[in-house]
């Protein structure tokens, strides 16, 4: 009976991390930007049916990059968890922080397990507050790590190039049109071959604290995006 090859735990985790990162990098990027009235999500996505950006609950939004079937399963699980918690207790008990913690536990367990491959996904979970200082944005990576985001962030695709552009050009208190134009330019930014993106190539949504109804999530139409890009 032959013995199997030994692989150190460090090498195993490195291989799983490299596998997940490569899968995520193959997709198109998603940008999140805090603006004056809430939180903006912009994804490079030409599909009208397969959304990267979605609503989870009243004040909570979700964006993802990577394998669609994997992040869609996570989105559905998040909606069910939020609905159950809101129904069992109170709607105010459903928070972005609580949802981010649940996702972190799930992703971390899957990444550490030897029985299945790691998820090739990264997530943004955002909750819009009554005032800008109460906004919460969390970035979750394939291994369950959580980062608290302030101002702006990018994940997936050519994230480093887009993040560099945002860092150089972002300023707090942007209006919605300016934030959309900034995010689109960041997604198209490239030192060698920059691209100009149009509304047809982008999926855009906001968590707008000024909306009168409890549900703050709103999708921005292609025409509204094109108008914002023209103004910017």
Question: What's the CATH class of domain 9-231?
Answer: alpha beta
Please determine, for residue 4, whether its predicted confidence score (pLDDT) is greater than 80: no
The CB density around residue 25, as the number of other CB atoms within 10 Å, is 15
181 is written with which tokens?
């134009």
Domain boundaries, the chain: 9-231
Q: What is the pLDDT, as a whole number, of residue 3?
A: 57
Give the percent of the chain with pLDDT over 90.
81
SS3 readout for 107-173 = HHHHHHCCCCCCCCEEEEEEECCCCHHHCEEEEECCCCCEEECCCEEEECCCHHHHHHHHHHHCCCC
Q: What is the pLDDT, as a whole number, of residue 185?
A: 95
Please determine, for residue 119, whether its predicted confidence score (pLDDT) is greater than 80: yes
Sign (positive/negative) of CA torsion 23, 26, 27, 28? Answer: positive
Give the span between the Cα atoms of 227 and 232, in whole angstroms.
9
Average pLDDT over residues 133-153: 96
Q: What is the pLDDT, as a whole number, of residue 227?
A: 96
Average pLDDT over residues 162-188: 95
Q: pTM to 2 decimals?
A: 0.92
pLDDT tens string 70-116: 999 999 999 999 999 999 999 999 999 999 999 999 999 999 987 78
Please determine, for residue 225, whether its predicted confidence score (pLDDT) is greater than 60: yes
Please determine, for residue 2, whether its predicted confidence score (pLDDT) is greater than 70: no
């Amino acid at each position: 009976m032959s013995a199997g090859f030994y692989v150190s735990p460090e090498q195993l985790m490195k291989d799983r991390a490299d596998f997940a990162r490569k899968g995520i990098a193959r997709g198109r990027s998603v940008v999140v930007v805090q603006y004056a009235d809430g939180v903006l999500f912009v994804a490079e996505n030409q599909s009208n049916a397969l959304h990267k950006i979605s609503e989870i609950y009243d004040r909570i939004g979700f964006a993802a990059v990577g394998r669609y079937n994997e992040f869609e399963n996570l989105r559905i699980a998040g909606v069910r968890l939020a609905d159950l918690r809101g129904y069992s207790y109170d709607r105010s008990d459903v928070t972005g922080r609580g949802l981010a913690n649940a996702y972190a536990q799930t992703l971390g367990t899957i990444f550490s397990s030897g029985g299945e491959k790691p998820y090739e996904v990264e997530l943004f979970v955002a909750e819009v507050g009554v005032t800008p200082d109460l906004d919460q944005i969390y970035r979750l990576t394939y291994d369950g790590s959580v980062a608290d985001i302030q101002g702006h962030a990018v994940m997936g695709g050519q994230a480093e190039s887009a993040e560099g552009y945002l860092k150089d050009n972002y300023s707090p208190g942007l209006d919605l049109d300016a934030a959309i134009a900034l995010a689109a330019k960041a997604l198209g930014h490239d030192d060698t071959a920059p691209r100009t993106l149009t509304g047809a190539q982008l999926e855009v949504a906001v968590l707008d604290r000024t909306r009168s109804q409890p549900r703050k999530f709103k999708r921005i139409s292609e025409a509204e995006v094109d108008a914002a890009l023209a103004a910017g």
